Amino acid sequence: MKTDVIIIGAGASGLMCALEAGRRGRLVLILDHTPKIGSKIRVSGGGRCNFTNRQVSRENYLSQNPHFVTSALARFRPEHFMAMLHEHGIPYHERSAGQLFCDESAQAVVDMLVAECQRVSVRFVMECRISEVRKNGLFVVDTSQGTFHGESLVVATGGLSYPQLGATPLGYSIARQFGMKVTPLHPALTPLKFSPGDLEVFGPLSGIAVNATVAYKGLSFRENVLFTHRGLSGPAILQVSSYWERGSSFTLDLLPGLDAHAFLLEKRGSRMHLATLLGQHLPARLVKAWCEGHFQSRPLNQYSPGELQAIARSLHGWEIEPMDREGFNKAEVTLGGVDTRGISSQRMESTSVPGLYFPGEVLDVTGQLGGYNLHWAWASGFAAGQYV
């Protein structure tokens, strides 16, 4: 079967690329090996789809080529996606830090994108396993449901996160096949695992959450931190996980917004135990474990001024060196991907293989937590859709 555009991947970037190409009058075919369209969209935002963020900028993305995202982000803003939701009558709301979520199910976003694709006659072939991709004038894709020929090939396969939803390394394999580089791949927006020593002390705190600031190499994120039976999770930890490098440590401020030294000095003459005082601001189980690992709790009038200063420093800068990240099965996105130095930032097209496009997570572009990754999928898919 011959068509104008073959898109591999019925996810966020593939759907956006398809509907934009279809609006230009291109004949578009989407192939996907899974049975359902938009699987990752449906689970995003806890099933409510954190579809974008009101404040999107280059600074919200990681890439070895940090300026790459600028062009696509400038041409597809949050307001553009919000306008689509308004047109389809899909209600949404704003949460903290500009995050936008559907009021109801994320399925509404999938249904909207599918409806827009159907409006411009995009064809879907699902449960379609790809055995070979090659270029012989046209792109040729051999699959379990036949062989397809297209003028343009869009690799919108996503990353390695959510393997339970069907994630595979196919996109990276296609890139390498055509001589393109792929940067190292790591789980991102994922929990971090304690070292064995910290796990023994803090593993029993599983289920405790605190509002804290996580700082790493000049970056800081103040959000919830969740203790798990293996390490640390929660929004602040997921954020820092994208930047963290094995063998390095980050600091955890357990009392952000409070001057711990002044707070301790106020009670310096008291017989109150340190653990009791800290329990006014932190969960008792966390205080007990922290004191056992740092400063044994005793009456405050038994600490010297220097000890109180050291306690305050440790509360504001608890240094933690994780053992590792959790794997791709716990990660929300993939860090790394197809090297963007071989991709046109305007078209998402390979600079060495005309007609070959790579939008979305398959690229070496990773957004922070908060709707930025889905927005990159919309923006990069939109950019590719203008040229395929």
Instruction: Return the H-helix or E-strand segment holding 237.
Output: helix 235-241
- In contact, 380 and 73? CB cutoff 8 Å: no
- In contact, 47 and 58? CB cutoff 8 Å: no
Q: Give residues with Cβ within 8 angstroms of 245, minimum separation 6.
A: none
**Residue 132 identity (one-letter amino acid):** E
Token code pair at residue 15: 């759907």
Token code pair at residue 87: 């047109």
pLDDT value at position 248? 97
pLDDT value at position 105? 96
Cα four-point dihedral sign 346, 349, 351, 355: negative
Q: Where are the domains of the chain?
A: 2-187+332-385, 192-325
Return d(Cα 103, Cα 267) in angstroms, integer. 47
A 10 A CB-CB count for 387 gives: 17
Residue closest to 99 by CA, chosen among 370, 295, 363: 370
pLDDT value at position 34? 96
- In contact, 76 and 51? CB cutoff 8 Å: no
**Residue 80 identity (one-letter amino acid):** H
Residue closest to 72 by CA, chosen among 324, 293, 349: 349
Q: Which residues of the chain have pLDDT under 50?
A: none
- Fold entry, domain 192-325: Elongation Factor Tu (Ef-tu); domain 3 (2.40.30)
Q: Which residues pair with 193 in a beta bridge?
A: 231, 324
DSSP string, 49-60: -EEEESS--GGG
Q: What is the CATH number of domain 2-187+332-385?
A: 3.50.50.60
Angle of helix 78-87 versus helix 107-119 axis, rounded to 10 = 80
- How distant, in Å, are the alpha carbons of 10, 39, 174, 326 from that of 167? 12, 10, 15, 16
pLDDT value at position 293? 86
Return d(Cα 76, Cα 378) in angstroms, integer. 8
Q: Give residues with Cβ within 8 angstroms of 206, minimum separation 6.
A: 227, 228, 229
- In contact, 140 and 147? CB cutoff 8 Å: yes
Q: Which residues pair with 357 in a beta bridge?
A: 154, 349
pLDDT value at position 8? 98
pLDDT value at position 109? 98
Using DSSP's 3-state secondary structure scheme, residue 364 falls into: coil
